[in-house]
Structure 1
Amino acid sequence: MSAGSASTHATISAATASTPARIGGLFTREGLWATALLATAFAAYFYRWFLQQGLMSSKNIDDWGHAFVIPLISGYVLWKRRDEIVRTPIETFWPGMIAVCLGLYCYLFFLVGVPNHMLAGGAMLLCLFGLVLTVCGTRMMRHIFLPLAFLAFGVTISESIMILVTFKLQQISSSGAFLVLSLLGGVMGFAVDISGNVLTVIEASGERHEMNVAEACSGIRMVVAFIALSGAVAMLSCREWWKRLSLLALSVPVSVVMNVIRVTVLGLLTLVDANLAEGEAHTLIGTLLLIPALGLFVLVSWVLNTIVKPQAEGGAA
């Protein structure tokens, strides 16, 4: 055998030997079967929560419809990181079973003992985290943690917490919309009055159109969707943690500004036809405002990455 043939044979042998290391563990036939069985058992155990979450999101599509998209975004992030995931060796980490057992127990408690959909969802995510940590190890978790954590945005928050969080934001939105409408009224020839959360648009003819901001501004409840949107942009475009946190911090002010715009548009629509500010109109407008919000998050991400160049691969999780 010539020296060239021997060298080629050695190269092929080395590549063949390294291949199992790259695609070992979960990426073997046995590993894929085991993963499928674990996924089936996981879905069977938590199916009641998944069913309830699906029904809640369907019935409140304007508030929680984004829950259907959250797993798709997490899956896309994992797909983008597939090369790093395949190259990372699988190492069983048995302490992860603590999180698995705790998640299983807490789920039953919040399902049967003290029923709470939000906390049951948290227990489900804790169990999922523990499973991945146990099966894949700490090194793999470095690539998977953020997509797993992002799934939390798909859990419906308890109504009492949403009321507590959004009440003040709702007041800010109504005051902001009153200010903008007052400025526009000086130009367009109408007046605006505010009493609590009720805005009254008064035409030049004296006709009054009342708008309950507490109802029309239900879009402030989309604050979770705005935070999830900023989180998705942060995961996909930023490597440093401080940039990701900056985008998340921006999400709440953006949601308030977008809802000021929303209520302002609804107020202007009452001048054309009062019916346009009711029904599906406010839901449609709120959904459309996610588009400029996305553009703003992408712009801020670009500015941050331009001012401070991203770290090299592996510099951040």
Structure 2
Amino acid sequence: MRRRIPVAPVQASYINRPQGNSISMPPTITFTEALARNRIRLLLIVPLLVAAYYRVVPDMVQQWMQDENYSHGFLVPLIAGYFLYLRRDELGRAPVVPWNWGVAVLLFGLAQLILGWLGTEYFTMRSSLVVVLAGLVLFLFGTAPFRVMALPLGYLLFMVPIPYIVYDAVAFPLKLFVTRVSVATLKIAGVSVLREGNIIMFPATTLEVADACSGIRSLISLLALAVALAFFLRIAPWKRWVLVGGAIPIAIVTNASRVIVTGFLAQYMGARAAEGFFHEFAGLAVFGLAMLLLVSLGALLKGREQRTGSEQ
């Protein structure tokens, strides 16, 4: 009869495993450290961007100077830079993990630039700069810094003039709407007036509701201001959307009031009420009123949130 010898179970031991076989993850660096390490590479990217957009950006700035609809373009980069300045601490601490798919975004922006240049489509060329910058941030620094920079980068789109085909498609219905509302209000007030399209006819004179009176100019600028105001106010996200959306009716209503007041004056003063100094002053006054209403809406939304928080 054989005798069984007990065998001790074999236990895996990792104590004496060589340290060279262990897999160590590279330490994550912050955005500030990444800027310091890659400053040479970043400095080389700047002249490449200048070479790609050396004609696109100056042409856009020239349009800001010549077209009053986009004169706010000078302020947009400054406001976007201020947004970034306010988030500088959060951005500096953001972990950097380069995202390879950022190359796809970068290539898409470059393709957008080339196609816009081939088709002489200015909006495509100009807006590609924002896409290229977003692609560079994603590829070089990753998604965490991009989330911090998303609002400043996206805000830069307000500096790009929209295509004229889109501008006309929005301005023409607005002109007709403002004309209808103004004529209806003038008739209720007892003014003798007729309407033909966007033409308002009085017994002594005739007025045309032009693009400047349609509200499209105020609408573009007010939307940019509303987004900036929504960023600065500490309110709930849905209230920020209400504030931005509120810029649309404010622009339309204030410009309709401009046409109504001009109609009353034209009834007694003639066509000169809609020309010269009064016309320019009325435009500034209406935009000032629109800004006041927008700020008041923001204060109302913020005040209600504070009251709700205090009740809780």
Q: TM-score, normalised by structure 1?
A: 0.78
CA-CA distance at 1:278 after TM superposition:
2.5
1:225-280 CA-to-partner distances (Å, cap 9, x unmatched) read: 22212111112224543222212221211111111022123324434363341256
Give the CA RMSD over aligned residues.
2.6
Distance across 1 between alignment mates of 2:208 and 2:252: 17
What letter corresponds to residue 199 of structure 1 in structure 2? Answer: I
Gaps in structure 1 of 5+ consecutive residues: 1-19, 203-207, 311-317
SS of the residue aligned with 1:69?
A: helix
One of 285, 293, 297 as aligned partner of 2:294? 297
Native 8 Å contact 1:24 1:89 kept in 2: no
Aligned: 1:141 with 2:127: no
Distance across 2 between alignment mates of 1:280 and 1:144: 43
One of 61, 68, 74 as aligned partner of 2:74? 68
Distance across 2 between alignment mates of 1:280 and 1:147: 37
**Aligned counterpart, 2:86:** 80
Native 8 Å contact 1:75 1:147 kept in 2: yes
1:95-140 CA-to-partner distances (Å, cap 9, x unmatched) read: 111111111122011102x221112223222111111222232111
Native 8 Å contact 2:31 2:91 kept in 1: no
What letter corresponds to residue 224 of structure 1 in structure 2? Answer: I
1:179-224 CA-to-partner distances (Å, cap 9, x unmatched) read: 333344x4xxx5333222111234xxxxx12101135625434322
What letter corresponds to residue 242 of structure 1 in structure 2? Answer: W
Aligned: 1:129 with 2:134: yes
1:268-311 CA-to-partner distances (Å, cap 9, x unmatched) read: 4434363341256545433433323223222222332333359x
Gaps in structure 2 of 5+ consecutive residues: 1-28, 308-312
Native 8 Å contact 1:216 1:263 kept in 2: no
Distance across 1 between alignment mates of 2:166 and 2:94: 40
One of 84, 88, 107 as aligned partner of 1:101? 107
Structure number, greater radius of gyration: 2
Native 8 Å contact 2:218 2:287 kept in 1: no
Distance across 2 between alignment mates of 1:232 and 1:52: 25
Native 8 Å contact 2:206 2:271 kept in 1: no
Distance across 1 between alignment mates of 2:212 and 2:275: 8
Cα gap change, 1:220 to 1:266, in 2 (>3 Å): farther
Distance across 1 between alignment mates of 2:46 and 2:259: 44
Distance across 1 between alignment mates of 2:49 and 2:277: 37
Number of aligned residue pairs: 278
Cα gap change, 1:288 to 1:232, in 2 (>3 Å): farther
SS of the residue aligned with 2:242?
A: helix
**Aligned counterpart, 2:176:** 171
SS of the residue aligned with 2:207?
A: strand
**Aligned counterpart, 1:195:** 196
Distance across 2 between alignment mates of 1:239 and 1:77: 16
Aligned: 1:262 with 2:263: no
SS of the residue aligned with 1:308?
A: helix
Distance across 2 between alignment mates of 1:92 and 1:287: 47
SS of the residue aligned with 1:289?
A: helix
SS of the residue aligned with 1:94?
A: coil
One of 11, 23, 47 as aligned partner of 2:32? 23
One of 43, 48, 51 as aligned partner of 1:41? 48
